[in-house]
Amino acid sequence: MNRVAHEELLEMRAELLRITASVVESIPRATQILLEQDLEGAAYQILGDDEIDARTIELEERCVHLMSLHSPVAGELRHAVAIMKMSADIERSADLLVNICKVARRIHGFELDPKLRGLIGRMGSQAQILFRQAIEAYADLDLPMAKAVDDMDLFLDYLHRQFIQGIFESHTAGNIDLPIAIQMAMTARFYERIGDHAVNMAHSVQYLITGVIPSAGDHRRAGRTQTEFDTPSGV
C-alpha cells in the first residue's frame, strides 16, 4: 500500500480513537442523567448522537474507499476491516446510551430504591471500564488486554442478572409498578448490550493482531458461578 493510503489509515485510526473517547465519556454521563432524571441533560445527549452517527458513517465510508481504491493486504487489510467493524459497534453503543436517556424521561418523577440505584451505577461503571479497556487494547495493540475484556464482561452480565432480580423483588413487594419495571429491565439490557459491543471491539483487536477471529460467545464459558462475582477484584 502506498504512502498516501498508509497515512489515510493512520488518520482513520486517530478518528476512531477520538470517537470512542467521546462515547467512553458519555457512559457515566448517561448514567447520571438516568439516576437524576435530568431532562435537560437527556435532551442534550440525545441531540449529540447525530454527530456520532455522522462520524462513524463517514469512517466506514473511508474504510470502503481505501479498500476498493488501494487494495490493502495482510495487516493493513485487517486494520481497515477492524476499524470498520469497531466503528459499527461504537455507533450502536452510542444509540444505546440515547435509549438510556430516553428511559430517564419515561420514569421522570419515580423514585428508585437505593438497591436499584446502586446497581445502575455499578452497571454504568463496568460498561465504561469495558469500553475503555477495549479501546486501550486497540491503541496499544495489546493482545492480553484485548483478551481480558471477555472475562470482564462476565461481571457486567452478573450485574445485569442481579438488577433483573432486584426489579422482580421490588415489583413483588409493591414498590414498583409494571410499566416502570419494564423500563428498568430495558435499561439493564442496554448496559449489557454496551458490554457486548465492547467485547466485539476487543475481538476486532484480536483479529487485527493475530489474523484469527475469536469465536462468538467464547467468553460465556461454563463453570463460572454467581458467587465468583460477589466480591470482584480488578474489574
Report the alpha-carbon distance of residue 31 to residue 136 in Å, rounded.
22
Residue 229 has pLDDT above 60, yes or no: no
Mean pLDDT of all residues belonging to the chain: 89
Helix (H) or strand (E) holding 156: helix 143-172
From the number of C-beta atoms within 10 Å of its C-beta (0-12, 13-18, 19+), residue 121 rates as middle
pLDDT at 193: 96
Report the alpha-carbon distance of residue 115 to residue 230 in Å, rounded.
15
Task: For domain 3-229, give the CATH number.
Answer: 1.20.58.220
pLDDT at 216: 60
- Spatial neighbors of 54 by CB under 8 A, at least 6 apart, are none
For residue range 74-93, what is the model confidence (pLDDT) as tens digits? 888 899 999 999 999 999 99
Triad 193, 195, 201: Cα angle to 5°: 105
The confidence band for 219, taking pLDDT boundaries of 50, 70 and 90, is low
The confidence band for 122, taking pLDDT boundaries of 50, 70 and 90, is very high
Residue that wins the pLDDT comparison between 235 and 79: 79
pLDDT at 40: 95
Alpha carbon of residue 187 to chain centroid: 13
For residue range 59-78, what is the model confidence (pLDDT) as tens digits? 999 999 888 877 777 888 89
Residue 232 has pLDDT above 50, yes or no: no
pLDDT at 91: 96
- DSSP for 160-210 reads HHHHHHHHHHHHHTTSS-HHHHHHHHHHHHHHHHHHHHHHHHHHHHHHHHH
Residue that wins the pLDDT comparison between 2 and 108: 108
The confidence band for 2, taking pLDDT boundaries of 50, 70 and 90, is confident
pLDDT above 70 covers a percentage of the chain that reads: 91
For residue range 165-192, what is the model confidence (pLDDT) as tens digits? 999 999 888 888 999 999 999 999 999 9
Count of residues making up the chain: 235
Least confident residue range of 21-35, 64-78, 101-115, 208-222 = 208-222
Cell triple for 227: 458467587
pLDDT at 1: 62
